[in-house]
Structure 1
Amino acid sequence: MELLIQKSDYAKYRINKGGLSISNKFKKFLSWRTSTGRNMMDIAKIDQRIRLGAKLLSNYKDVLIIGTKFDEKYSKKFAELMGFKFLSKFRCGMLSNPEYKGYLEPEIIFVTNTELLRNAISEAELVGLPVIGYCNTDSNLSCIDYIIPINTTSEKALAVAFWLIAKECLNKKITLEEFLE
């Protein structure tokens, strides 16, 4: 199967660059290890997970994207483009307490960082919501229903991944340059 973008572009944007440590569940997404001990993710598997993640998201109307300050620019743009709700700051009770002023009832949540957004993931599990997550080699994968392996420490890598998912979901000719504006 042809990749969504050239293999060299995946490398250029460092989408496949992992961390120095690795969780056991993540090993299936690895390709090789550098001489300095950095884990590199398998580009074909990243591409496949992005495609399948896009298909999964397109089955839901009420999706909540939960981002961090680090990725807010592109996660928010992705949410707007897709017509999804977006949060840059998650507060406990937003998914589990109907009396909470900011209570939300999405069908699925998509988190951009499984370490920083652990409260949102735990709360989603508590109420039975499926969770899609961008995960790096050292991410905590518990309670993540669908893993998209990616370098979560690179803003450009996250932006390219969001662009690829949007492009797949919307079947649009949206260029990376347009998305990055």
Structure 2
Amino acid sequence: MSGGLDVLQMKEEDVLKFLAAGTHLGGTNLDFQMEQYVYKRKSDGVYIVNLKKTWEKLLLAARAIVAIENPADVCVISSRNTGQRAVLKFASGTGATTFAGRFTPGTFTNQIQAAFREPRLLIVTDPRADHQPLTEASYVNIPTIALCNTDAPLRYVDIAIPCNNKGHHSVGLMWWMLAREVLRMRGTISREHPWEVMPDLYFYRDPEEIEKEEQAAAEKAVGKEEFQGEWTAPVADFAQPEVADWSEGVQVPSVPIQQFPAGLETTAASVAAKAAPAAEVYAEDWSAQTATEDWSAAPTAQAGDWGGATADWS
């Protein structure tokens, strides 16, 4: 559907995105109506989708979406978890109506139902999982577009986009590519500049993985705080206090003066007189040399303290 125009040709960066997301990897089973979109089969039994035909069908689907005057008349549906976030992002970017989650039977056929809709175009993520809206669309003559794997049934599907609709990266990338082409054909964004919206926003994320990532980030932050608190010492405050007048900075406490009676003066004088001789006794001249005793001489006999002479016990 590119018509040989260089503007609509698939770029190298688009091919790299397809290969990185695994869009070219189909299933091990093959429907007879999907044989025209298969390039070859690998040795392990996995069919490889022709990405050139994927791109051509992507442009055809984008032209069909742009042909609808009111964007709200385009209905996008995904009952599987891997495509619900991509469907919501596509609807918010292009203005389409979305049904994320379970599709209520009778939405397109039962006019009494509160959620009754009459869309002009229907886009589904998986023809096998979204068989109910496809069947109801066939009852009310609504054209349909579907992302089809190699084993997908093409009954009630008008435009089949061959791709890997099982992986969450592939599904998110296909919805991102479709939204980008729709906005380019509408003139909302330019083909000369890359789209600022990243494909990561269209990828499905498991709530358990998100919780684990948040928990790991919290533990990392706590560990970083403990590490910084252990190795970094607090900064001391060396700022000198400002004192305007140093004479006023120190407050000297006042000491009360005590009055002693007259009798205590004589008592103090007598105590000083008695202490004077004792001071003279201890005031010795240490510079004077004293006589050296002869320690080799025999000791003289001294009288015992028991009142008698020294007894000879030999």
1:94 aligns with 2:107: yes
Q: Secondary structure at the match of 1:7?
A: helix
1:145 to partner: Cα distance: 0.6
Q: Secondary structure at the match of 1:70?
A: helix
1:6 to partner: Cα distance: 3.6
Higher radius of gyration, 1 or 2:
2
TM-score by length of 2: 0.55
Single out whichever of 170-179 and 48-57 deviates more from structure 2: 170-179
For residue 174 of structure 1, the aligned residue among 153, 171, 195 is: 195
Q: Secondary structure at the match of 1:103?
A: coil
Counterpart of 1:46 in structure 2 is 54
Task: Check the 8 A contact 1:163/1:179 in 2, yes or no.
Answer: no
Task: Check the 8 A contact 1:20/1:38 in 2, yes or no.
Answer: yes
| CA distance in 2 between partners of 1:162 and 1:67 (Å) | 11
For residue 10 of structure 2, the aligned residue among 3, 6, 12 is: 3
Single out whichever of 65-74 and 127-136 deviates more from structure 2: 65-74
Higher RCO, Cα 8 Å, sep 6+? 1
Task: Check the 8 A contact 2:54/2:162 in 1, yes or no.
Answer: yes
Structure 1 residues 154 and 175, CA, compared in 2 at 3 Å: closer, same or farther?
farther
Q: Secondary structure at the match of 2:91?
A: helix
For residue 164 of structure 2, the aligned residue among 132, 151, 159 is: 151
Amino acid at match of 2:76: I
Task: Check the 8 A contact 2:172/2:199 in 1, yes or no.
Answer: no
Counterpart of 2:45 in structure 1 is 37
1:59 to partner: Cα distance: 0.8
| CA distance in 1 between partners of 2:49 and 2:85 (Å) | 25
TM-score by length of 1: 0.94
1:179 to partner: Cα distance: 5.8
Deviations 1:51-105 (A, max 9, x none): 1111111111210001122211111101111100000221111000111111001
Unaligned runs of 5+ in 2: 1-5, 203-314
| CA distance in 1 between partners of 2:200 and 2:21 (Å) | 15
| CA distance in 2 between partners of 1:10 and 1:177 (Å) | 14
Q: Secondary structure at the match of 1:148?
A: strand
Deviations 1:90-134 (A, max 9, x none): 111100011111100100110011111101100000111111001
Deviations 1:112-166 (A, max 9, x none): 1111110110000011111100100001110101101110111111111111111
Counterpart of 2:26 in structure 1 is 18
| CA distance in 2 between partners of 1:48 and 1:94 (Å) | 31
Q: What is the aligned length?
A: 181
Task: Check the 8 A contact 1:160/1:176 in 2, yes or no.
Answer: no
Task: Check the 8 A contact 2:176/2:199 in 1, yes or no.
Answer: no
Which aligned runs of 4 or more in structure 1 are off by greater than 6 angstroms? none
Amino acid at match of 1:19: G
Single out whichever of 130-139 and 155-164 deviates more from structure 2: 155-164
- Greater strand percent: which structure? 1
Counterpart of 2:83 in structure 1 is 71
Structure 1 residues 178 and 33, CA, compared in 2 at 3 Å: closer, same or farther?
closer
Counterpart of 2:127 in structure 1 is 114
| CA distance in 1 between partners of 2:168 and 2:199 (Å) | 16
1:161 aligns with 2:174: yes
| CA distance in 2 between partners of 1:85 and 1:6 (Å) | 27
Q: Secondary structure at the match of 2:155?
A: coil
Counterpart of 1:84 in structure 2 is 96
Counterpart of 2:225 in structure 1 is none
| CA distance in 2 between partners of 1:94 and 1:112 (Å) | 18
Q: Secondary structure at the match of 1:165?
A: helix
Q: Secondary structure at the match of 1:36?
A: coil
